Structure 1
Amino acid sequence: MNRFLALFAFVVFAIFVGILAFEVPSPDLVIVILITMALLAYDFITSSQNEPKD
């Protein structure tokens, strides 16, 4: 369930910043959005992995 909610939040955020990037086509803004999305994707991948149980 946590992965689903994280994926849903990722998709909603991507749609929001995608609309922002298309409405305000500033190259600097697009670069910041791409960096932010890359960091968000990295966090999603690393935090949603199964951790070994001790």
Structure 2
Amino acid sequence: MNNVMAIFAFAVLLGFLGILLWHVPRLDLIGVVSVTVALAGWDLISNLRRKG
């Protein structure tokens, strides 16, 4: 159940950041969002591998 909640939280984060980028398409914001998604994805994958 924790894995499902973690994936759902990551999807919500992606949705929020996607909407943010849709309404504010700035190059510097795209860079910050890209780094944020990469770090959150890395954390998600490492936690799923460790528990699984």
Pair in the same fold by TM > 0.5: yes
Map residues 1-54 of structure 1 onto 2, 5 A cutoff.
Answer: 1-51=1-51
Q: Which has the larger radius of gyration?
A: 1
**Higher relative contact order by CA 8 Å / sep ≥ 6: 1 or 2?**
2
Unaligned runs of 5+ in 2: none
1:17-54 CA-to-partner distances (Å, cap 9, x unmatched) read: 00001100110001100110000000000011145xxx
Unaligned runs of 5+ residues in structure 1 are: none
Separation in 2 of the partners of 1:50 and 1:13? 22
More helix by share: 2
Large movers: runs of 4+ above 2 Å: none
Question: How many matched pairs?
Answer: 51
TM-score when normalising by structure 1? 0.88
